Amino acid sequence: MAKVRVHNFHISLDGYSAGETITLDAPIGGAERLFGYFDGRFIHGVDAVDAPITLDHALTSTWGQGIGAEIMGRGKFGPQTGEWTDDDWQGWWGDEPPFRTPVVVLTHHRRDPVSFDNGTSFHFLDATPEEALARARELAGGLDVRIGGGPSTVRQFLAADLVDFMHLVTVPVTLGAGVSMWDGLAEVQDRFTVESATSASGLTHHFWNRTRA
Amino acid sequence: MAKVRVHNFHISLDGYSAGETITLDAPIGGAERLFGYFDGRFIHGVDAVDAPITLDHALTSTWGQGIGAEIMGRGKFGPQTGEWTDDDWQGWWGDEPPFRTPVVVLTHHRRDPVSFDNGTSFHFLDATPEEALARARELAGGLDVRIGGGPSTVRQFLAADLVDFMHLVTVPVTLGAGVSMWDGLAEVQDRFTVESATSASGLTHHFWNRTRA
């Protein structure tokens, strides 16, 4: 059975995974320090960048392996809220969105799909986590589905017990405010086997695998 | 510039990476305990196997990323020595060798290339490390070259200062005898920046990146 996976999900020491308000100038809501250690170019492989292959880079590179579709919250796609009034907005990523697969964007507001030459397409859906996952599985062609965030979206899928694997990264910074990763998820770890390792950069990588019944 | 990389290279606590004599029944010369922790199916990605994604598995999966050719010693290809008297021998791996790229096999004895449908081909070459690397770079089409072992082959490329990156794995077993990884390589680590992390299984993963001049 294809898995539902979370990758490279960064969390501050005080439990936040995004800032409080997403704007065009602050795509992660002021929580940029969370990603000061993260080189996203490695999501496509340890060979994607001419730089040393560190533990952090090697683990970052598992992001796309065997992934056939992503599910993301609307805030990851863009800063608009409410009705879609600006259809020119096609995400933060320009002509080459890094996903290279279909992406389900969760929104209460109807919008036609958007496609790019590199294999990325965005499909807007008003749906429960279960419904969104069913649609993503159709789009994934038998491959795994990634839950791409933000934190509220990951939290919904965790609460619904739909996540098989999570690669979390605790970052040695405090933010003081933001969107909590863990709010309402007390004891969620009991459903998983958890392994952790710390890299030379000070990041701690956590591998959560759902315990099989 | 494309890199020269070593991946998943297992070493016992007493410094051995293979047993003493390769035979048809003992492809790694009696050092099978070295690989008791290793699930080679993950070389093709964390999605290649329906099993938990552990730190060990994630790191194993960097093996093939961006690799365009491998160089291996003759002992990795098969148990024959001397002249090639059995051309029916096409490696240990059957019809689906895991490499999926051209492979340069170092041997003093001439033999015609062998090709497989899955992209693997074996090219037999009597050459110094520098010459073998030049040939592998031609075959790699701009991608990275992996030094695939055995230990004597890795050692030759290290001694010639041709290795840019090594992922070594120390395994918590002792073998007492075998082919040493480190023989004649005193202070080789001084040319590298070394990072290490230990997994829940007890393996320690070492990332050696050649220090840039």
Say if residue B149's pLDDT is above 60: yes
Mean pLDDT of A64-72: 98
Per-residue pLDDT at A174 exceeds 80:
yes
Nearest by CB: B193 against A52, A58, A62? A52
CA atoms within 13 A on the CB side of B18: 23
What average pLDDT does this structure show over B62-77? 96
Write out the two tokens for A27.
Answer: 């795509």
How far is Cα A154 from Cα A5, in angstroms, rounded to an integer?
10
Closest CB to A58 among B47, B62, B66? B62
Q: Do A58 and B58 touch (CB under 8 A)?
A: yes
What pLDDT was estimated at residue B73? 96
Q: Provide the percentage of residues in chain B whose pLDDT is more than 90.
A: 79
Q: For an interface test with B, which of A41, A42, A49, A53 has the most B Cβ atoms less than 10 Å from its Cβ? A: A53
The pLDDT tens digits for B84-120 are 988 899 999 999 999 999 999 999 999 999 999 999 9
pLDDT tens, residue by residue, A58-67: 999 999 999 9
ipTM, 2 decimals?
A: 0.92
- What is the predicted pLDDT for the residue at A120? 98
Specify the pLDDT at position B213: 57
Angstrom distance (rounded) from CA A57 to CA B199: 17
Judging contacts by C-beta atoms under 8 Å, the chain A residues touching residue B53 are: 5, 62, 165, 167, 207, 209
- A169 SS3 class: strand
pLDDT at A156: 95
Beta carbons of B24 and B190 less than 8 angstroms apart: no
Domain A4-16+29-78+96-192 top-level CATH class: alpha beta
State the pLDDT confidence band at B123, using cuts at 50, 70 and 90. Answer: very high
CATH node for B4-18+28-76+96-210 = 3.40.430.10
Percentage of the residues of chain A whose pLDDT score is greater than 70:
99
Average pLDDT over every residue of A20-28: 77
Average pLDDT over residues A92-96: 94
User: How far apart are the CA of A88 and the nearest CA of chain B, in angstroms?
Assistant: 35
Contact A195 B58 (CB under 8 A): no
